[in-house]
Amino acid sequence: MTEPVVAPAVPRPTRRRRWARRLLRTVVGVLAAVLALLLVLTGVNQAANAVGLARLEVPGELVEVDDDGARMHVYSRADHPGEPTLVFLAGMGLGSAYYELESVWEPLAQDVNIATVDYLGYGFSGTTAKDRTNVNVATEIHAALHGAGVEGPYVLVAHSLGGLYALEFAELYPDEVAGFVGLDSTSPGQQAPEDYEGDVSADGGLHPAMTVARFVGLVRVDRWVNGDDSSLLPANPLLDEAEQDRDWLLDNTRLDLRLLDDEGSWAVRNDLALTGHRFDAAIPTLMVLAEDSVALAEEFSMPDWVEVHEAVSSEHPDSRVVLLDGAHLIYLDAPDETVTEIREFLAATQ
């Protein structure tokens, strides 16, 4: 008698295996949903950027400043013949000087000629492959002003890192500079001692992460959620809503993060290159300092904020240092007081 053939028993999945499969399916599903969301978000973001840039009007003019075709944005108003021209330079990473420093240049334009200059990689300007050394940036600013037909003499008004570029500019073109106003500006020797040790060219590493965040639209989402209090690209509170939108669009699309990283890597080296330098005695200087910066310098064991600015101030009899209540963006915290100080400075020195 033939024995029946018995099929081998198929092992039933254990509870652990069933849970593992469910977990895998869930993870795959979530990842697929996230990927789909990112793709949609990227598409919406890029479309919104394209529409916004197509509608964006350049307030000034774009001037070629180098053989590589790089163009810089210069906005100018020359409504006061015979008066000096105040040239406004923004701080590191703060976008277009046209928008960033509007709280100061706009009221002053009632009295004197003004010009705002966007560094290469900033605002409406193009970009470049050149290192962000003091000399390169200063010569680009000079070429932009002359290319736009902005006549001197110039009173350079610089915030933060723009102070180093202005000092270099004054040394390269002393006959064209009639004064300097620092808005809590960077001065040589202001860093803590340890910042001058070891590798002083370290890259800030901002470019890779922020480039992705801007491309896929995470920066836009941050603005949707947090509005003016956006942590990634906070709005300038002194601009109207339309100006805030245009300023934000420029920073989200045109600010060259690769160049900004390079500028950061040169910051200490640019500081060291001007160690011991000060504005010529023929150039009056006004240092508008923020009281919060004075306190922070003391808290973090940095050189005295007032003393480092006194060291770079010129020995012109009308040079002075003033402290205003506010933080590093003093032109936003105390715009009226800043404008008053500049007007008094101009009245005393012109």
Which position has the higher pLDDT, 277 or 15?
277
* Residue 52 or 60, more confident: 60
pLDDT the model gives residue 348: 93
pLDDT digits (tens, 9 = 90+) for 277-298: 999 999 999 999 999 999 999 9
Residue 306 · residue 202 · CB < 8 Å: no
251 near 245, Cβ under 8 Å?
no
Task: Please check the confidence at residue 14 and state whether its pLDDT lies above 70.
Answer: no
pLDDT, position 31? 77
Is it the case that residue 207 has pLDDT exceeding 90? no
- Cα distances (angstroms) measured from residue 80 to each of 114, 222, 340: 10, 43, 19
Q: Is the pLDDT of residue 269 over 90?
A: yes
What number is the average pLDDT over the span 303-312?
A: 96
Q: Which of 200, 139, 149, 203 is CA-nearest to residue 172? A: 139
- Write out pLDDT tens, residues 311-323: 999 999 999 999 9
| pLDDT at residue 136, as a whole number | 97
Q: Which residue has the higher pLDDT, 210 or 252?
A: 252
Q: What is the band of 310 on the pLDDT scale with cuts at 50, 70, 90? A: very high
Within 10 Å of residue 230's Cβ, how many Cβ atoms? 17
Q: What is the mean predicted confidence (pLDDT) over 228-233?
A: 76
Name the percent of the chain lying above pLDDT 90: 66
Q: Which of 12-21, 189-198, 337-346 has the highest average model confidence (pLDDT)?
A: 337-346
Average per-residue pLDDT for the chain: 90
By residue count, the chain amounts to 350
pLDDT score of 284? 98
pTM: 0.89
Contact 94, 123 (CB under 8 A): no
In this predicted structure, the answer to whether residue 2 has a pLDDT above a threshold of 80 is no
Q: Which tens digit of pLDDT belongs to each residue from 123-156?
A: 999 999 999 999 999 999 999 999 999 998 999 9
Mean pLDDT on 216-232: 80
Query: What's the burial of 93, exposed, middle or buried (CB within 10 Å: 0-12/13-18/19+)?
Result: middle
Q: 113, 108, 110: which is closest to 74 by C-alpha?
A: 113
pLDDT surpasses 80 at 172 = yes
User: What pLDDT is stored for residue 9 in this prediction?
Assistant: 56
Give the model confidence (pLDDT) of 72-126 as tens digits.
999 999 999 888 999 999 999 999 999 999 999 999 999 999 999 999 999 999 9
- What is the C-alpha to C-alpha distance for residues 249 and 241, in angstroms, rounded to an integer? 12
Q: Are 32 and 204 in contact (CB under 8 A)?
A: no
pLDDT at 90: 97
Share of the chain above pLDDT 70, in %: 94
